[in-house]
């Protein structure tokens, strides 16, 4: 138990000398010229204090209890919790046909047969596979943030708006393939990628809005707005864009000819300068992913850059206990008054 006003308890020290003084005050008496007529009549006179002790005791007990009540005794239940501001993040993921390419690993020879064997043994996967896997890991780490997904090729399509339902987002992410947009996967529209992500963040009230743009191609679509104009609009909306260029200098495509598959080498063609400029205009960063596993490392860096402040709150809920002391004080005062005017009434 604690007291809201503990300094009031110092008043108890004042009561001690007052109580002592009250005990030693001589009771009222009648002055007479001779005592013979009173001999044997006042047997209790040699202990005058016995008539007044009990009322005085209750009076001072009442004052003591009143002081306790005024000091506001209370018990508290301590509560602590942490809170952090959320960040709204939208992935704008390229799913054009080139995202089905296989990047040449550094530890494998640039050899069609070796690459084909790695693909058949499931040791090597397309770019989109690694991108989706890395994004899924990122989603698992950002538990307090709202995350969304936009995919794009020649046009952008909103797969999932920013949401705290990460399980739903993960399920939608699993559905994504380079065939998701049908014929719209034949071009890369960077403008639509930015505009689509920005549209999903327009109503966001989060303190920070982020677009993570992942692409392996240059802007090849015809549009009235250029990617630079879209980036400028994002900057005005206080949205930060991180751009990730995916692709090795040497990549492999599986092409089908009349029912048979053929593995052909190709080169990456993403516009590195454009991606850098988009990131710089919005206060973000550009990252280059040359190998599959680097994608996960890049998203780890972005995760570290966008850590939000953890706020700690501490409060105590108090339960007041002054009423029992107050009622006890009033009861003692009533008892003292009744005793003083009945059994222990003082006669002059």
> Do residues 277 and 248 make contact, with C-beta atoms less than 8 angstroms apart?
no
CA dist 103 and 133 (Å) reads 16
pLDDT of residue 45: 47
| Buried b / exposed e along 181-219 (16+ C-beta atoms within 10 A) | beebbebbbbbbbbbbbbebbeebebebbbbbbbbbbbb
Other Cβ atoms within 10 Å of 175 Cβ, number: 8
> Do residues 135 and 173 make contact, with C-beta atoms less than 8 angstroms apart?
yes
Indicate the SS3 state at residue 73. strand
Token digits of residue 286: 């550009």
> Bridge partners of 215?
245
Token digits of residue 280: 């710089």
| CA 268 to mean position of chain CA atoms | 41
pLDDT of residue 188: 92
pLDDT of residue 44: 47
Q: Domains (ranges, CATH) in the chain?
A: 2-29+44-78+315-340 (no CATH), 87-308 (3.40.50.410)
| Buried b / exposed e along 31-52 (16+ C-beta atoms within 10 A) | eeeeeeeeeeeeeeeeeeeebb
Q: Which of these, 267, 270, 308, 303, lies nearest to 285 by C-alpha position?
A: 303
Token digits of residue 29: 């008496």
> What φ, ψ does residue 92 adopt, rounded to 5°?
-110, 100
| CA 317 to mean position of chain CA atoms | 21
Taking the CA atoms of 59, 60, 63 and 65 in sequence, report the sign of the dihedral they define. Answer: negative
pLDDT of residue 46: 45
Distance between the two ends of the chain, CA-based, in angstroms?
46
H or E element in which residue 102 lies: strand 102-103
pLDDT truncated to tens, each residue of the chain (348 aa)? Answer: 788 888 888 888 887 787 777 666 655 555 555 555 555 555 444 445 555 677 778 888 888 888 888 888 888 777 766 666 678 999 999 999 889 888 888 777 777 888 888 888 888 889 999 999 999 999 999 988 999 999 999 999 999 999 999 999 999 999 999 999 888 878 899 999 999 999 999 988 888 999 999 998 889 888 889 999 999 999 999 999 999 999 887 778 777 665 556 777 777 777 899 999 999 999 999 999 887 678 889 999 998 888 766 566 667 788 888 888 889 888 888 888 887 777 766 545
pTM: 0.66
Indicate the SS3 state at residue 79. strand
Q: How many residues does the chain have?
A: 348
Other Cβ atoms within 10 Å of 69 Cβ, number: 20
């Amino acid at each position: 138990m604690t007291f809201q006003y503990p300094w009031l308890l110092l008043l108890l020290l004042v009561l001690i000398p007052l109580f002592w003084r009250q005990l030693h005050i001589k009771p009222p008496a009648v002055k007479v010229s001779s005592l013979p007529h009173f001999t044997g009549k006042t047997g209790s006179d040699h202990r005058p204090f016995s008539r007044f002790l009990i009322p005085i005791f209750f009076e001072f007990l009442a004052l003591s209890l009143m002081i306790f009540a005024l000091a506001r005794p209370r018990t508290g239940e301590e509560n602590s919790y942490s809170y952090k501001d959320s960040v709204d993040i939208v992935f704008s993921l390229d799913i054009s046909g080139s995202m089905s390419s296989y990047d040449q690993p550094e530890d494998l020879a640039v050899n069609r047969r070796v690459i084909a064997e790695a693909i058949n043994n499931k040791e090597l996967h397309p770019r989109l596979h690694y991108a989706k896997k890395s994004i899924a890991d990122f989603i698992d780490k950002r538990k307090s943030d709202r995350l969304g997904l936009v995919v794009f090729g020649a046009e952008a399509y909103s797969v999932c708006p920013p949401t705290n339902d990460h399980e739903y987002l993960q399920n939608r992410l699993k559905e994504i393939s380079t065939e998701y947009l049908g014929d719209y996967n034949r071009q890369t529209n960077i403008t639509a990628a930015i505009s689509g992500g920005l549209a999903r963040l327009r109503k966001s009230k989060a303190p920070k809005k982020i677009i993570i743009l992942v692409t392996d191609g240059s802007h090849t679509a015809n549009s009235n707005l250029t990617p630079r104009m879209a980036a400028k609009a994002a900057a005005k909306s206080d949205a930060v864009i991180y751009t990730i260029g995916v692709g090795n200098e040497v990549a492999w495509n599986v092409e089908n000819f009349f029912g048979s598959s053929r593995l052909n080498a190709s080169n990456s063609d993403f516009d590195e300068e454009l991606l850098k400029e988009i990131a710089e205009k919005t206060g973000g960063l550009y990252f280059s992913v040359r190998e599959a596993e680097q994608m996960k490392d890049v998203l780890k860096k972005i995760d570290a850059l966008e850590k939000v402040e953890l706020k700690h709150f501490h409060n105590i809920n108090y339960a007041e206990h002054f009423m029992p002391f107050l009622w006890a004080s009033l009861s003692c005062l009533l008892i003292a008054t009744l005793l003083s005017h009945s059994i222990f009434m003082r006669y002059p």
